């Protein structure tokens, strides 16, 4: 039953990772500190990047995403011990940037603990400027998301 609820809450997120809540994630009030959620989002961004190839592409070409904006909405406090599932999806791609949405689901509570999103600018690290997203990466994201984007 618990697995079904968690699966339902993560429906529509093509990349999902599980992450253990660590004692060090807690704050003085004994719940997960707000900054830890941003770290969970970071783990999700990296997992997505590994799956769609932006990490590998960046290492090979010097062009890849750079975080431009990040936001979070907190719904329920999370406590140690727990495990969270982090769901990640890309709802929109533009020529030089793409947007990600996150959901964090508490296994112990079987509920959404936080949601968030970010804007990643595709960046040429060698020239210090925005870059167009290469078609090959957009196509990998489309395969992962199971849909086409209007870029």
In a domain, 71, yes or no: yes
In a domain, 68, yes or no: yes
In a domain, 96, yes or no: yes
Could you give the 3-state DSSP secondary structure of residue 36? helix
Nearest partner of 31 among 85, 108, 101, 110, judged by Cα: 108
In a domain, 150, yes or no: no
Residue 20's CATH number: 3.10.129.10
Single pTM value for the model = 0.95
pLDDT per residue over 12-42, tens digit each?
999 999 999 999 999 999 999 999 999 999 9
Could you tell me the residue range of the domain that residue 33 belongs to?
A: 2-145
In a domain, 151, yes or no: no
In a domain, 109, yes or no: yes
In a domain, 116, yes or no: yes
pLDDT of 124 over the 70 cut: yes
* Cα within 13 Å of Cα(55), Cβ side: 10
In a domain, 10, yes or no: yes
pLDDT per residue over 62-96, tens digit each?
999 999 999 999 999 999 999 999 999 999 999 99
């Amino acid at each position: 039953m618990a697995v079904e609820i968690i699966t339902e809450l993560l429906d529509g997120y093509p990349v999902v990772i599980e992450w253990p809540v660590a004692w060090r994630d807690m704050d003085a009030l004994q719940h997960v500190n707000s900054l830890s959620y941003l770290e969970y989002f970071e783990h999700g961004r990296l997992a997505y990047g590994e799956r769609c190839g932006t990490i590998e592409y960046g290492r090979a070409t010097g062009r890849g995403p750079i975080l431009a904006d990040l936001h979070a909405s907190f719904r329920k406090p999370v406590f140690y011990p727990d495990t969270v599932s982090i769901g990640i999806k890309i709802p929109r791609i533009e020529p030089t940037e793409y947007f990600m949405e996150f959901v964090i689901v508490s296994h112990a509570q079987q509920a959404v603990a936080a949601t968030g999103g970010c804007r990643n600018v595709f960046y040429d690290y060698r020239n210090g400027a925005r870059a167009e997203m290469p078609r090959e990466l957009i196509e990998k994201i489309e395969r992962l998301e199971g849909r086409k984007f209007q870029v």
